[in-house]
Amino acid sequence: MNSGKIVQQWAGLTLESSPWAVVFYRAALARGLGHNDAIRRLANRWLEILWRIWMDAKPYDEKFHLAQHYLRTKSR
């Protein structure tokens, strides 16, 4: 199994515990993407988050992530 599929499986599992991941996934489906494309985009988003927490050397905090997302989308 290649690493891309592993990350996609991980992203799929986050749908069980992360409300924002569910919203992100459902929004992708609503835009007409198929399941695999929606999961791939969710996986990419998780990798961006993973990179950021690695660079900042801080643990993941979903409340902080949601607040940052709100601030980014509010300014659009």
Per-residue pLDDT of the chain (76 residues; tens, 9 = 90+): 677 789 999 999 999 999 999 999 999 999 999 999 999 999 999 999 999 999 999 998 888 888 887 777 776 6
Domain boundaries, the chain: 3-74
- DSSP character string of 1-56: --HHHHHHHHHHHHTTT-HHHHHHHHHHHHTT--HHHHHHHHHHHHHHHHHHHHHH
